[in-house]
């Protein structure tokens, strides 16, 4: 059945006749809430009418009238979809990353209520870059980030008496947008709750590999039945971002590295008790910050920006954060890192995390969380002298104190035990000590080639290039046949072998006219995923002015 075919329903043939029935009763008056609003003389004389009417609205929505002068906190999220009380879908979200966020919003709201505050919840949902790959929807991906950041900030300011803002978001553009919005609220306490990750499947393919099923089927590498089954099993839980360290997961890491999120909150398993606990404790942290007078201005500093860049390199993060982090820092009024800054950090900082798609073992993001996540990686970086330990976090404590706590935390010990007990994987195989990373030959995360095609510089996730195509010095040095395309779908068709002159090993796919001055700098994962999972794809390079998905691998220069 075509996805656009709507089955005929005879009961709805005559919509006008159906409207003849009037559901009753119809209530035409109400006495309104019982009680009195706690106005005083000064409020009535001097407060804006909006403050007074807002209290009327709060009572009308069911808040106890006598308690409408409590401190007000805003909870913003990218929640999407609608579920019944049992969790079954009534209306689907755009993706799993925002489908369970209502639970986190509820936990945070109760946390604020229990500490004497009034929570207000506002929403601006977000799209899925995976869903829009290869479609016109991808043209809206990067612009959405800026649009949503504006909307979130307007929503925060629309509760004029708010004394703190909590942002809950998960995925590629929604979480960067949330960080941008909260970074701009310099004089308010702000906290980010990362939306977490989905579970890895036990009987299918991960959400990176499955996006190449069309190309692999076209080349006869998988059967129709296999494609049907693995694609069905891929998204193994209804909530959370993808199982790989793409842009969504990297954004969660960056939120925590900036100090905007609680320690060990990035990459938690969505919908589980440990994830809900993070939302509740994050709300408590927000109330605590408000009481202490600590605002975003105290958290987002040059020290925090340095730490975020270091963690990006140590994790092997998505190249999209080279766009998103400067945008966050700009909103905070901080200097944006230059290309030279990124180069310096990537020369100094070893990659320490073995995670999809970077390898070598390609563990899912949940394993990284259980192995210790961001604070575990920070312990190694602290010992290497690479962090600014004076940075303040939303705990109200310095990073130095946070890491001293983590080093001896029962939480750290227990979760590392869980990883080994449930999977047999040693946590130190996932988050590698620096010496072990060197032994495995793991390279720095990104490099920034310059040349006649990109005199101002470019970026490639060098750590994700297959070692088999590097020379003895670890350099990708090839002379390739240029295959130039101006439309992504033509390049993909050629890779699938559907053209008279298909892309072959030894070619470089040059996709042009897709940048900010072209089609809007859309992602090209449909193209790079096909190459990643075809047996000969490592022998093909890509050069483009478009963006790469955070999960892209190979010699992809953009």
Which residues participate in catalysis according to the annotation?
A: 549
β-strands 89-91, 190-194 pairing: unpaired
Tokens of 413: 């010990």
Give phi and psi for 197, each to the nearest 5: -130, 155
| Cα distance between residue 58 and residue 161, in whole Å | 13
Cα(116)–Cα(548) distance, integer angstroms: 45
CA dihedral 271, 311, 533, 440 (to 10 degrees): -120
Catalogue the E-assigned strands of 216-313: none
CA distances from 24 to 28, 259, 405 (A): 12, 54, 61
Long-range pairs of 453-462 with CB within 8 A, sequence gap ≥ 24: 453/543, 454/557, 456/339, 457/339, 458/557, 458/558, 459/319, 459/322, 459/342, 459/557, 459/558, 460/319, 460/555, 460/556, 460/557, 460/558, 461/316, 461/318, 461/319, 461/358, 461/548, 461/552, 461/553, 461/556
d(CA 468, CA 458): 23
Which residues neighbour 96 within 8 Å (Cβ) at sequence distance 6 or greater? Answer: 198, 235, 237, 238, 239, 240, 241, 270
Pairing relationship of beta strands 82-83 and 89-91 according to DSSP bridges: antiparallel
CB-CB contact of 320 with 210 (8 Å)? no
Whole-number Å distance between alpha carbons of 399 and 307: 10
Dihedral pair phi/psi, residue 546, rounded to 5°: -80, -175
- Of 334, 266, 325, whose CA–CA distance to 300 is shortest? 334
Cα gap 418→437, rounded to integer Å:
23
User: Which of 519, 507, 509, 508 lies closest to 546 in space, CA to CA?
Assistant: 519
Burial of 118 (0-12, 13-18, 19+ CB in 10 A): buried
Pairwise CA distance, residues 535 & 195, whole Å: 34
């Amino acid at each position: 059945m075509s996805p656009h075919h709507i089955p005929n329903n005879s009961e709805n043939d005559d919509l006008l006749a159906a409207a003849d029935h009037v559901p009753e009763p119809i209530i035409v008056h109400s006495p309104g809430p019982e009680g009195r609003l706690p106005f005083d003389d000064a409020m009535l004389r001097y407060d804006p009418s909006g403050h007074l009417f807002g209290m009327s609205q709060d009572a009308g929505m069911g808040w106890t009238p006598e308690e409408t002068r409590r401190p007000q906190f805003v909870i913003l999220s990218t929640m999407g979809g609608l579920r019944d009380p049992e969790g079954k879908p009534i209306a689907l979200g755009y993706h799993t990353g925002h489908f369970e966020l209502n639970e986190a919003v509820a936990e945070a709201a109760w946390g604020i209520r229990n500490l004497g505050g009034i929570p207000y919840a506002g929403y601006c949902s977000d799209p899925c870059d995976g869903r829009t790959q290869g479609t016109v929807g991808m043209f809206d991906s990067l612009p959405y980030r800026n649009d949503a950041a504006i909307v979130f900030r307007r929503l925060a300011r629309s509760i004029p008496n708010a004394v703190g803002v909590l942002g809950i978001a998960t995925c590629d553009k929604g979480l960067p947008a949330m960080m941008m919005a909260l970074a701009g609220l310099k004089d308010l306490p702000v906290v980010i709750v990362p939306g977490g990750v989905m579970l890895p499947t036990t009987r299918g393919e991960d959400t990176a590999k499955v996006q190449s099923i069309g190309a692999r089927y076209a080349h006869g590498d998988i059967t129709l039945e296999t494609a049907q089954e693995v694609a069905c099993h891929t998204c193994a839980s209804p909530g959370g971002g993808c199982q790989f360290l793409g842009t969504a997961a990297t954004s969660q890491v960056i939120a925590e590295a900036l100090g905007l999120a609680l320690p060990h909150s990035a990459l938690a398993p969505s919908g589980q008790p440990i994830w809900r606990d993070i939302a509740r404790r994050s709300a408590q942290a927000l109330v605590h910050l408000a009481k202490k007078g600590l605002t975003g201005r105290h958290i987002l500093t040059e020290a925090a920006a340095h730490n975020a860049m270091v963690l990006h390199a140590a994790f092997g993060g998505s190249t999209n954060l080279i766009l998103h982090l400067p945008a966050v820092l700009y909103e905070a009024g901080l200097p944006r890192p230059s290309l030279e800054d990124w180069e310096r950090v990537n020369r100094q900082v070893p990659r320490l995390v073995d995670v999809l798609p970077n390898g070598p073992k390609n563990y899912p993001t949940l394993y990284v969380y259980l192995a210790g996540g961001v604070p575990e990686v920070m312990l190694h970086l602290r010992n290497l002298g690479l962090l600014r330990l004076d940075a303040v976090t939303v705990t109200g404590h310095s990073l130095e104190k946070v890491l001293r706590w983590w080093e001896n935390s029962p939480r750290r010990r227990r979760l590392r035990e869980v990883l080994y007990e449930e999977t047999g994987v040693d946590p130190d195989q996932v988050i590698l000590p620096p010496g072990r990373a060197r032994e495995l030959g793991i390279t720095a995360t990104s490099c920034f080639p310059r040349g006649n095609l990109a005199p101002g510089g470019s970026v490639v996730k060098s750590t994700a290039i297959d070692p088999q195509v590097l020379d003895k010095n670890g350099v990708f040095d090839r002379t390739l046949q240029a295959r130039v395309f101006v439309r992504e779908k033509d390049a993909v068709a050629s890779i699938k072998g559907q053209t008279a002159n298909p892309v072959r090993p030894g070619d470089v796919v040059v996709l042009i006219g897709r940048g900010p001055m072209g089609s809007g700098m859309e992602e090209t994962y449909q193209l790079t995923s096909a190459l990643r999972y075809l047996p000969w794809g490592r022998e093909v390079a890509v050069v483009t002015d478009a963006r790469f998905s955070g999960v892209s691998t190979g010699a992809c220069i953009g």
